[in-house]
Structure 1
Amino acid sequence: MRVLSIDVGTSNTVAVLAVSGQQPRVVEVDGAATMPTAVYADEAGVILVGHDAVRQSRVDPARFEANPRRRIDDGVLKLGGSVVPVTDALAAVLRRVLDETVRQLGGALPDEFRLTHPAGWAEPRRNTLLSAARLAGVTGEIVLVPAPVAAAAHFLATRRVTPGAAIAVYDLGAGSFDVAVVAATPPGFTVLAEDALPDLGGAGVDQVLLEYVGRQVSNRDAAKWQQLQSTELIEPVRAAKETLSRQPQAEIPMPEPFPDVLVTRPELEALVRPSLSRSVELLTSTIAAGGVQPGAVYLVGGASRMPLVAALIGERLRSVPVLDQPETAVALGAHLVPHNGVTIRTPAPQHHSVSQQQYPSAGDFMASAQFPQLPAPQAPPVRKAAPKGTLVALGAIMVVALLVLGGFLVFGRHSFPSAADCSGQPGSPDDKGFTSCTRQLAGPVADQGDCHGGYDGSGVTVPGLAGSTVTCHTSGQTVVYIQAGSLDEVNKEVAAMMDAYPDSAKVKASWKGNGLSGDYEALAASGVGVVVFTVSDRPLVGVLTAPATSAPGSLTAAKAAGAFERSVQPGT
């Protein structure tokens, strides 16, 4: 019996071959235990995968997709001049693994295939994965296994544990973060609770570190720094990050004319602590939702090797997490899960497109809970369809085309108002109450939500700020956008708003999109999540309220932050 288990991760794919009478072993592709889950379409439409795709991305980045699994809901990928179905892209990744396995087996096909997937994937996504496997040439039996169940199976098989024990699986991969509480049961395993942060992962850590390096050296030659492609630097930056998991400091070699950069572990940890704190908060809330005290927290995913991960979990849960083969644990455990031996205690959430960061968890927060000073909004009106009619005629057909396509409304990507434009008196509002500045901050919400000028009596107000105000109801949430008189005024009122809740756990992070960048701060109190987001160089502020649907404790600052990032933060 030959069983091939494939863990198709957001950024990396790992395969393990289990043959009767032999120890399971990792199938190395191109001499490595992990293969990038990346695809590249050449000019002839041939799809390259893995390390070949990464190398070719330097030739034409437009033909490259580093994370096709993240695009699973999109249907197709636009890779240069080629339109590639997502199933074909995933099939190419699986085919590369299958071809290497068959070669190592002397031409024989595996008898059974195990494919892992996030526990939160519903049937449409699982069916896409199955379709990709068949396109790849898989002819035997296919068994789908939730990734945290596979990780728990590997953990339990290698340790003495109490029968019926529960394990919390903390999975921090290169492209996403998933957490689940899994219990061992007589028939197999039960997923008691699960959640995810699709925007958090090791690749994000690489990007943060790259930006930090840029701040250190770009003043040497700003024009040259702008010309450098991130692909030229991401590998040495990633290597430095991995070194910092073992050593207190690492040097990043830089091309001329820039000096090499020395980075210490405390410097890296200061950069990533806010993001990792979000993951630990989600871990804590997921354990609470599971209703059991897990016997261990099991770390999987290569990015979980960062020492700060274990330190933050230890501080929060007063226990030492277990780190053991994090890159391969899921694939190693998949073949240990019994057929039909997995149950999910609660229905898996129906996620929307990951690439657009439109997850429905924000809409699930609606309730009648009251939030001090920022009360929960009343049930929002029925959401209207995005406007597609004729606007005030500026006369340009291209502008109207952008409107129909859900673009940037009155202005295109390169004609946003400047910081100076937004720092004076607000211009005349449009028919929804938006100035050009607040419309830029709202992004797609301006089209997709039910928006109108001023406050609407839903209880969400910022009385200390005077200016042009718009209230929107979107995805079961209320968002208020304000163009105030000055940055000092905005900063003062935001600080006062957050200081009013000294005992509430808060999540702070930066955001970027639609030509703007700034910071946001999220908290949850009295069953309502509030996110206040500001712009770094202009007096614009937004306030999102996301009420919970169940017990007040079901909503955390991390989930409120996720609601902002998934459905309110304007796209890049």
Structure 2
Amino acid sequence: MRVLSIDVGTSNTVAVLAVPGQQPRVVEVDGAATMPSAVYADEDGVILVGRDAERQARMDPTRFEPTPKRRIDDGALLLGGSVVPVTDALAAVLRRVLDETVRQLGGALPDEFRLTHPANWGAARRNTLMSAGRLAGMTGNIVMVPEPVAAAAHFNRLAPGSSLAVYDLGSGTFDVAVVAATPGGFTVQASDGLADLGGTDMDQLLLEYVGRQVSNRDAARWQQLLRPESTADRRAQRALVEDVRAAKEALSRHPQTVVPMPEPFADVTVTRPELEALIRPSLTRSIELLSSTIAASGVHPMSLAGIYLVGGASRMPLVGALIGERLRVAPVSLDQPETAVASGAHLVPRDGVTIRTQVSAPSSPRYPTTGDFMAGAQFPQLAGPAPAPASKGASKATMVALGAIVLVALVVLGGFLVASPSRFPSAADCSGTPGSPDGKGFTNCTRQLAGPVADQGDCQAGYDGSGVAVTGLASVTCHIDGRTVVYTQTASLEERDTKVHDLIGGYTNATTIRALWAGNGLRGEYWSVGVSGVGVVAFTVSDRPLVGVLTAPATADPSSLTAAKAAETFEHSVQPGT
């Protein structure tokens, strides 16, 4: 089976092709192992990617986006006069890699695709990436693989029971995870990250340092470079940024280098100690997070099989030195840390990944594949009532694991056991007339949908008029952490779907995220919108006339509550089984 693994990094994309009978190989695009993840929209709306995009950026930087992955929550990009959905931008990047792969395969498509993602990405972001894959022409099975798991598989074939840490410092973000080997695959024991730390942030620190050396000669001209208004100034700024980045990378290999400067400024010599003084505070933050994540995993640093460096920015010698000082462990790196994630993705067993923080949820321990997430996960509005998602079958081992997890969940949910001492209600139990409500107004069916919220929140029977709701035969309103959740049992699936469609379809000017969820013995779908400082998430169960509606008001800047943020609130605080 031909497997194409793609690591869409913040600044660079790497792909590895595994073909039976051959050693896996990096798919070179334009003669290089890494392809810039950049996109550029020309005047006709055609999206250029990679080095073609970077070349065109010198002509009109307003049409250029160097890091579309960093904009995954924005929904759309404004490139010049074109509004480009993020899914389209990412699809263009994936399509360029796929086209080159198909050319190398003599016109044949790979049989399976593996797309890597940060371990802490929620379903909304994973769906955006998967949707981009489908738009790019990936017709085979798509498997989503957490980046640290792929890195662990590449660096070290761990013996079951052993763990390693992955320190991933890329151009746009920093991620850290502790991964353990199990008899069937891998477990992410703990993970965390810093969205505001990456190689580009260090480039900015170096640019500001260079500016302090030269700006006194012509302060007005320097401000023109920093805030360009003309096309010529934008080109000059773009060239300067590229030269600063190249200088930073050179200082990983040499004790000093020169940053070429545009007229009227003189070139600036920068030494490695000067750069390290600038970036030390930022790198110290990453080392502290590495240390706390290892502690959260319950594994002592000296007991790890290793601390492995991933991402181009991890090449900086100061990274290894700080890790050694803080943890007394010498980290391990390869000659090309940029390719580690893509190289390891195809080594991960398809059904062999779990996330420890989700073990208590009675959902499948597999990482998501095509059947688990919808290809069209993000769209402007609903076109009509959505069909119920199909459930995937589980292996015997998975079913045994699920049975044990459900048993634990039943013990924890004592209130539910009072209502149903032997089992969760079936789909048939939740059809027709609702059963007798408990003291808070929950039926057996709505209590299962509410999960821990039923016990942790301030809940009362009926809809109290706060937040947003879908009405039906029986409702319960819960207030928890400043948010409102209304759980409702309707008369039929058709009635439920119509009401959800009317609710979400009413937000005509809002970006809508659509994804699947699973937990507490249920599987279903959710829709998330963010508008006017309020996030609204409607979630349903695939085979039962149940619906919940979360209303999450913004606590600070109203514009900060996007559909993606509302989706994350649902996944982390309200989704049954979390």
Q: TM-score, normalised by structure 1?
A: 0.60
Deviation at 1:51, TM superposition (A): 1.2
With over 3 angstroms needed to count, the CA separation of the structure-2 counterparts of 1:133 and 1:383, relative to structure 1, is closer
Is contact 1:94–1:136 with CA below 8 Å preserved after alignment? yes
* Residue 217 (1) aligns with residue 214 (2): yes
Deviations 1:392-415 (A, max 9, x none): xxxxxxxxxxxxx9xxxxxxxxxx
Output aligned runs, 1:194-209, within 5 Å.
194-209=191-206
* Residue 190 (1) aligns with residue 201 (2): no
Q: Secondary structure at the match of 1:5?
A: strand
Deviations 1:443-479 (A, max 9, x none): xxxx979xxxxxxxxxxxxxxxxxxxxxxxx9779xx
- Structure 1 residue aligned with 2:19: 19
Cα distance between partner residues in 1 of 2:481 and 2:198: 36
Cα distance between partner residues in 2 of 1:52 and 1:269: 33
How much identity, in percent, do the aligned residues show? Answer: 75
* Residue 240 (1) aligns with residue 251 (2): no
Unaligned runs of 5+ in 2: 226-233, 360-478, 485-508, 510-531, 535-552, 557-571, 573-578
Is contact 1:240–1:251 with CA below 8 Å preserved after alignment? yes
- Structure 2 residue aligned with 1:503: none
Cα distance between partner residues in 1 of 2:23 and 2:340: 14
Is contact 1:10–1:69 with CA below 8 Å preserved after alignment? yes
Equivalent AA in structure 2 for residue 340 of structure 1: D
Cα distance between partner residues in 2 of 1:339 and 1:289: 26
Deviation at 1:245, TM superposition (A): 0.7
Is contact 2:533–2:554 with CA below 8 Å preserved after alignment? no
Cα distance between partner residues in 1 of 2:13 and 2:280: 27
Equivalent AA in structure 1 for residue 318 of structure 2: L
Deviations 1:156-214 (A, max 9, x none): 14xxx554210100000000000000001111000000001011000111111111111
* Residue 260 (1) aligns with residue 267 (2): yes
- Structure 2 residue aligned with 1:70: 70
- Structure 2 residue aligned with 1:166: 163
Cα distance between partner residues in 2 of 1:256 and 1:75: 39
* Residue 321 (1) aligns with residue 331 (2): yes
Q: Secondary structure at the match of 2:357?
A: coil
Deviations 1:476-510 (A, max 9, x none): 79xxxxxxxxxxxxxxxxxxxxxxxxxxxxxxxxx
Is contact 2:160–2:180 with CA below 8 Å preserved after alignment? no
Deviation at 1:381, TM superposition (A): 9.3
Equivalent AA in structure 1 for residue 87 of structure 2: T
Deviation at 1:338, TM superposition (A): 0.4
Is contact 1:2–1:18 with CA below 8 Å preserved after alignment? yes
Deviation at 1:62, TM superposition (A): 2.0
Cα distance between partner residues in 2 of 1:246 and 1:44: 42
Output aligned runs, 1:324-403, within 5 Å.
324=334, 325-347=336-358, 382=482
Deviations 1:207-248 (A, max 9, x none): 111111111112222233233343121222111111111111
With over 3 angstroms needed to count, the CA separation of the structure-2 counterparts of 1:381 and 1:130, relative to structure 1, is closer
Deviation at 1:323, TM superposition (A): 1.0
- Structure 1 residue aligned with 2:223: 226
* Runs of 4+ off more than 6 Å: 474-477
Deviations 1:259-289 (A, max 9, x none): 1111011100010011100000110110011
Cα distance between partner residues in 2 of 1:263 and 1:448: 46
Q: TM-score, normalised by structure 2?
A: 0.60
Deviation at 1:257, TM superposition (A): 2.2
Is contact 1:205–1:272 with CA below 8 Å preserved after alignment? yes
Q: Secondary structure at the match of 1:7?
A: strand
Is contact 2:187–2:355 with CA below 8 Å preserved after alignment? yes
Cα distance between partner residues in 2 of 1:86 and 1:255: 34
Is contact 1:380–1:476 with CA below 8 Å preserved after alignment? no
- Structure 2 residue aligned with 1:51: 51
- Structure 2 residue aligned with 1:389: none
Cα distance between partner residues in 2 of 1:24 and 1:347: 32
Moved more, 231-240 or 335-344: 231-240
- Structure 2 residue aligned with 1:423: none
- Structure 2 residue aligned with 1:397: none
Output aligned runs, 1:35-184, within 5 Å.
35-157=35-157, 162-184=159-181
- Structure 1 residue aligned with 2:28: 28
Cα distance between partner residues in 2 of 1:476 and 1:59: 41
- Structure 1 residue aligned with 2:318: 308
Equivalent AA in structure 1 for residue 315 of structure 2: R
Deviation at 1:128, TM superposition (A): 1.3
Deviation at 1:18, TM superposition (A): 1.2
